[in-house]
Structures are given as structure tokens and as C-alpha cells.
Amino acid sequence: MDDVKTVNKEIIEIGTDKFVTFLSEEDIQSRIAEMGKEISKDYIGKLPIFIGILNGAFMFMSDLMKNITIDCEMDFFKLSSYGDEKISSGRVKLLKDMNADIKDRHLVLIEDIIDSGLSMEYIVRLLREHKPASVKIVSLLMKPESLKYEIKIDYIGFKIPNKFVIGYGLDYAQKYRNLRSIFVLSE
């Protein structure tokens, strides 16, 4: 991360952009533990398939799965709607399909952030063609002001304002996913 200048623990500079801590590692981990307990309780006696949306959700999914206390399976989708930009292109492209047979199965989709809802609407529509028993959505972050599609998000970590965020799996041009906290672009 040659182009990142750490001003202090709460401020980083990337080129001419300044980012400030928005959600600390401790806040994120605490909320994920709560979500894991809730989801585990809701799926007692079932064998859900947790489906992560790559690349952004990998860190969240990893930590969430450590807090899931029931038997389950995992799989992944990989989509692209941002490219290297700060805003979505408005088009979704499937880069990797999942491998699991999902007919009559309980699916739990795991996303890092739901912005407009375009990607999630695309995935849910695609999955329903395979006749799963149920489809629920988990998102660490959700931007209510940006939502343009009618999708039900069943488990939300944090509702956030319509601002650009990086860290903890969230990227800018495929970088900065490895930051432990979530940073917001300062105005």
C-alpha cells in the first residue's frame, strides 16, 4: 500500500483522498457476533448454505461463520458491478457461479454492502429459478438512501449514510480490503 499514508489510527490518506474511521474493528466484531447468534437461532434444525458474494464479503463471511453454531455449508458467487470506480456501473456481470445444488435448500446470501440493491436483486432472481426452499439476505452494511430495488434484507449489521467506504473487505480499485476497520471518505 505504497500510496497510503497513515496520519494516525483514525485517518488515512490515499492520494488526495482522506478517509476517517467510520466503524472500528471492535464495533464490527461485536455486531457480527450478535448476527451470528441470531442467524444460528433462526436456522436450528436446518442445513443452510451460506453463499458469499466475492470479493467484498469474504472477510465478513469468514468472521460471521466463526459465530455460526449450527451445521451448514458454504459456497460463493463472484459478481462485478463497480470495476475500479467509486460508483456502480449499473450493470451486473456474473464472474463465478456457485457449485452447490440449491433446489429445496435454505440459502443465506452474504454481502459486504448493499447500495442500490442491483447486485442482490440480480442474484435473488437468478437463485429463485433453481427453486430453493428459502432465500435470506445478510449484509454487513446497507445504505437505505441509495436502495433502488425492492429487496428484503433479513439481517443488517449497520445502516450507513450514502458515502464511499473502504476497508474490511470493501475496496477501491481492488485495494484496501485488508484494513481492519471501515473508513469513510472525508468531505
CA dist 24 and 125 (Å) reads: 34
Catalytic amino acids?
115
Lookup result for grid cell 490518506 = 13
Residue 37 CA to residue 14 CA, distance in Å, equals: 36
Q: What is the 3-state secondary structure (H, E, C) of 70-105?
A: CCCEEEEEEEECCCCCCCCCCCCEEEECCCCCCCCC
From residue 113, alpha-carbon distances to 8, 42, 71, 182 in Å are: 26, 22, 25, 12
